[in-house]
Amino acid sequence: MSDVAERLERVRARLRAAVASARRAPESVRLVAVSKFQPVNAIRAAYAAGQRDFGENYVQELEQKSKELAALPDLRWHVIGHLQRNKARFVGNLASVVHTAHSVELVRELDKRATERAARFSGDETRLRTLVEINVGGEAQKSGAAPEALPEILEAIERAEHLQLAGLMCVPPQTDDPSGARPFFDQLVRLRDLHGGAARLPELSMGMTSDLEHAVLAGATIVRVGTAIFGERPRAAQ
Ligand SMILES: *Cc1c(COP(=O)(O)O)cnc(C)c1O
């Protein structure tokens, strides 16, 4: 087994344990392997071990990797980094899921550009599944929408022809103890309940290497895990 395959198996075991202690169904949480700054061979190794969902932060890097890995069938790209409007065309037509919609303008641009999906995707993937990133800590340096902006962003996604409203996402402020993230995960759950519940917002994308157990207990349906699967990222790139 490759290092990546071994680490992936450990992450799956952590997820199984977390889901069991939360008394949730095993298939209720999807693992996205965050491959930013990692070489394509690491992605190939995870793919060979059965991983299909991969998260990238930077559109240029995603563009490059998606070309190199175009031959891998049913690999799904998740865009999890701050997204600028001038990248909307590429993301709109290549990603399976975008986690980081944060404004009405960005939503409109994504919808306007996501016109070539039918050539690449089929079934319910023809529309780009879109989550809204919430700046749960209200941090000036972090991206994501303010909770007050949520109603108009959600409505814009629902009006969009090529997008499918999928849920909410957050990256809580850094804390020394992983349990420090829990109040922010609970905040995302409350926002979901306030704005239509799981029927309207089925996905909650929250939890990373250090705090995935807390996220699963809070109700995450997608966890985004990088370091625990691929090892430390190259230092300059963190
Ligand atoms: C890098 C990153 C992750 C993964 O972080 P790890 O701590 O390496 O698991 C998850 N989500 C986002 C938005 C990230 O930028």
Alpha-carbon distance of 133 to 111, in angstroms, equals 17
Q: Give the 3-state secondary structure of the chain.
A: CCHHHHHHHHHHHHHHHHHHHCCCCHHHCEEEEECCCCCHHHHHHHHHCCCCEEEECCHHHHHHHHHHCCCCCCCEEEECCCCCHHHHHHHHHHCCEEEEECCHHHHHHHHHHCCCHHHCCCHHHHCEEEEEEECCCCCCCCCCECHHHHHHHHHHHHHCCCEEEEEEEECCCCCCCHHHHHHHHHHHHHHHHHCCHHHHCCEEECCCCCCHHHHHHHCCCEEEECHHHHCCCCHHHC
Query: Is residue 209 in contact with ligand 1, taking CB distance under 6 Å?
Result: yes
Q: What is the pLDDT, as a whole number, of residue 12?
A: 98
Which residues, in sequence order, are bridge partners of residue 165?
130
Ligand 1: centre distance to CA 82 (Å)? 12
Q: What is the pLDDT, as a whole number, of residue 237?
A: 52
Ligand 1: centre distance to CA 35 (Å)? 9
Q: What is the pLDDT, as a whole number, of residue 2?
A: 80
Alpha-carbon distance of 47 to 72, in angstroms, equals 8
- Which pLDDT tens digits describe the chain residue by residue (238 residues)? 789 999 999 999 999 999 999 999 999 999 999 999 999 999 999 999 999 999 999 999 999 999 999 999 899 999 999 999 999 999 999 999 999 999 999 999 999 999 999 888 999 899 999 999 999 999 999 999 999 999 999 999 999 999 999 999 999 999 999 999 999 999 999 999 999 999 999 999 999 999 999 999 999 999 999 999 999 998 655 4
Q: At residue 51, what are phi and psi to the nearest 5 degrees?
A: -75, 135
Query: Is residue 14 in contact with ligand 1, taking CB distance under 6 Å?
Result: no
Ligand 1: centre distance to CA 192 (Å)? 22
Q: What is the pLDDT, as a whole number, of residue 16?
A: 98
Query: Is residue 182 in contact with ligand 1, taking CB distance under 6 Å?
Result: no
Ligand 1: centre distance to CA 157 (Å)? 25
Query: Is residue 208 in contact with ligand 1, taking CB distance under 6 Å?
Result: yes
With vertex at residue 176, the alpha carbon angle to CA 173 and CA 177, rounded to the nearest 5 degrees, is: 100
19, 213 contact by CB (below 8 A): no
22, 216 contact by CB (below 8 A): yes
Model confidence over 44-103: pLDDT tens digits? 999 999 999 999 999 999 999 999 999 998 999 999 999 999 999 999 999 999 999 999
Decide the pairing of beta strands 53-56 and 30-34. parallel
Ligand 1: centre distance to CA 34 (Å)? 6
